[in-house]
Amino acid sequence: MTKREKRNLVRGFLIVVILACIYAGILVWQKIQKDDVNRKETENARQQILLALNPDQIRNISFGEPRVTLEKKEDGYGSPEDSFFTASQERVSRMEKDLSNLEMTRRLEDTDDLEKYGLKAPKQEIEITMEDGAVHRILIGNHSDSEKELYVQVDEDPSVYLTKAVLDEHFAGDLNALAEYEEFPEIKAEAIRMVEVTKEENSFSLDTPGDDSCTVTDEEGNLQKADVSLAGTVQMNLSNLSWQKNVEYHCTDLKKYGLDEPTAEIRIRSAGEDGESLPEIGLILGEKDGSGNYFASLAGSAQVHMIRGEYVDSLVNGKASDFWSRSYSFVSISDLDYLEVTLDGEMHTLRAVSEKGTYTDEDMTWYVDKVPVSKKLFTDFYYECVSVTAQDRLSSVPEYEEMPALSLHYYLKDGTEKQLDYYAEDQNFYTVIYENGTKAASTNRIYVNAMIESGRKLIQAALQEHEVRNNP
């Protein structure tokens, strides 16, 4: 290596060392600057904090007018004035968060006139007592012009500060507003199996076994089929129940809310996924408020709440007959042995016969009085008969001297029978009597007239076919 090359190598090495030193110096300078910024930010943050109390060392908190005192116990905050009171953990957590880091947004200058800020006679005084006996006070004055901040003073500091306006919301309310309340039990609509409504008049129970069959029983023990859709609406309404408002955490005067003589008591029984019975829920309803909602409590509880009237009005104001099923006519054609139809004073026998024992169109023969008829005429009449529903269920069965305008007597393959008798009621309705004469309902005249007209067409076609067969 030549001397020139050696000099260049040494020169390059020195340049690298110098650059490394410069870089190291820059790093040290940046760290000093960063530490300085952090120190200033920490100092500023300290200056921003008006109060920083350790929540674990707080013994009690008092505020409000009349004065409310929350006293720390092993399982939360209680009240030295009422052994039944337990403070809401959510409300207490808000307070503790405020007290652990109460920040100012601005310190005011020239604040000799405290009346200007509502601090000469403070709107609120919060007093916090610590485990070591130290007492801290926060005086709350007016809201700022923007309503987003509060004027406050803390402890012995004569300065006036602005802080977030939520402070006076968090430290507000009487014991009823601050109490821990029970949640309304969760109810799944599809799991409800029985709804029992007890009241001064028209008590009833609704049985929902979990399939397509529902029954309703009145206070005298009379059982009827229930409308599945109405029962489903009741189940859905009950599953939506929750407390609209909490009123009193420990009520000793039920009369104030009409709960001494309840408007109604609703008992709800449900089943789990494996069919086991779940704990019964008892809901007691008192008087209504001006908005149509009920004072309510759970059976066995001293707490009073408000519950939305729209979810329970159908039960409170209803009766068993309101839930009666309007379906009474259906008979599956596959279950039918034969049907006796009495129309215009004459009885005719209808059968659907399958030579192969199957019920496809190709295998079926349709008969009226042993005369084959068209499938369309037969099924049009049959399905009109078994698809009609009641307009209204009747609470009693009327008596008639005249013959029914239409009588349908079903004989089923299992040996059971079902008879429906239709009587003209007025220009709008027929009365149908069914279930061995024990039940009655009003049915729209249009539907019955359609059955009668379709039946006459079917019988006339059978008579014509009989005439053709006997007079070829």
Q: Which residue would you say has higher pLDDT here, 416 or 44?
A: 416
Q: Provide the CB-side half-sphere exposure for 172 (13 A, CA).
A: 9
Domain CATH for 385: 2.60.40
Total domain count, the chain: 3
Q: Quick check: 37 pLDDT over 70?
A: no
The residues pairing with 277 across neighbouring beta strands, listed in sequence order, are 271
Same domain, 168 and 194: no
* pLDDT at 28 (0 to 100): 62
User: Do the domain assignments include residue 14?
Assistant: no
User: Do the domain assignments include residue 77?
Assistant: yes
For residue 163, give both structure tokens. 């802080």
DSSP of 216-262, one letter per residue? EEETT--EEEB-HHHHHHHHHHHHT---SEEEESS-S-GGGGT-SS-
Q: Band of the pLDDT at 398, cuts 50, 70, 90?
A: very high
Same domain, 201 and 165: no
Q: Quick check: 39 pLDDT over 90?
A: no
Residue 407 φ then ψ, to 5° = -125, 130
Q: Band of the pLDDT at 256, cuts 50, 70, 90?
A: very high
Residue 210 φ then ψ, to 5° = 100, 5
User: Do the domain assignments include residue 432?
Assistant: yes
* pLDDT at 40 (0 to 100): 42
Longest dimension (CA), the chain: 143
Same domain, 165 and 64: yes
Helix (H, G, I), strand (E, B) or coil at 29: helix
Residues 150, 36: Cα–Cα separation, whole Å: 33
Same domain, 298 and 404: no
For residue range 115-142, what is the model confidence (pLDDT) as tens digits?
999 999 999 999 999 999 999 999 999 9
Same domain, 421 and 397: yes
Residues 345, 227: Cα–Cα separation, whole Å: 34
Return the minimum-mean-pLDDT range out of 1-15, 118-132, 151-165, 430-444.
1-15
* pLDDT at 10 (0 to 100): 60
Q: Band of the pLDDT at 359, cuts 50, 70, 90?
A: low
User: Do the domain assignments include residue 313?
Assistant: yes
Same domain, 357 and 415: yes
Same domain, 344 and 404: yes
Residue 70 near residue 157, CB atoms below 8 Å: no
User: Do the domain assignments include residue 79?
Assistant: yes
Q: Quick check: 32 pLDDT over 80?
A: no
User: Do the domain assignments include residue 40?
Assistant: no
Same domain, 337 and 312: no
* pLDDT at 360 (0 to 100): 63
User: Taking residues 194-219, what's their average pLDDT?
Assistant: 94
- Residue ending a domain, among 291, 323, 355, is 323
Helix (H, G, I), strand (E, B) or coil at 192: strand
Q: Provide the CB-side half-sphere exposure for 85 (13 A, CA).
A: 19
Q: Band of the pLDDT at 31, cuts 50, 70, 90?
A: low
User: Taking residues 269-279, what's their average pLDDT?
Assistant: 91
Q: Band of the pLDDT at 44, cuts 50, 70, 90?
A: very low
The secondary structure of the chain in percent helix, strand, coil, rounded to multiples of 5, reads: 30, 35, 35
Measured at the CA of 85, the angle between CA 84 and CA 88, to 5 degrees, comes to 145
Same domain, 59 and 171: yes
* pLDDT at 354 (0 to 100): 80
User: Taking residues 227-236, what's their average pLDDT?
Assistant: 93
Cα→Cα distances 128→17, 79, 146, Å: 62, 14, 28
User: Do the domain assignments include residue 459?
Assistant: yes
Q: Quick check: 233 pLDDT over 90?
A: yes
Q: Band of the pLDDT at 48, cuts 50, 70, 90?
A: confident
Same domain, 344 and 287: no
Q: Band of the pLDDT at 22, cuts 50, 70, 90?
A: confident
Same domain, 205 and 172: no
Residue 377 near residue 457, CB atoms below 8 Å: yes
Domain that holds residue 171: 51-178
* pLDDT at 45 (0 to 100): 36
For residue range 138-175, what is the model confidence (pLDDT) as tens digits?
999 999 887 789 999 999 999 999 998 889 899 999 99
Return the minimum-mean-pLDDT range out of 33-47, 375-389, 444-458.
33-47
Q: Quick check: 321 pLDDT over 50?
A: yes
* pLDDT at 23 (0 to 100): 66
Residues 430, 426: Cα–Cα separation, whole Å: 7
Q: Quick check: 369 pLDDT over 80?
A: yes
User: Taking residues 6-24, what's their average pLDDT?
Assistant: 66
- Residue ending a domain, among 178, 202, 218, is 178
- Residue ending a domain, among 304, 323, 342, is 323
Residues 119, 191: Cα–Cα separation, whole Å: 58
Q: Quick check: 1 pLDDT over 60?
A: no
Which position has the token pair 């009668």? 452
Same domain, 245 and 366: no
User: Do the domain assignments include residue 1?
Assistant: no
Q: Quick check: 355 pLDDT over 90?
A: no
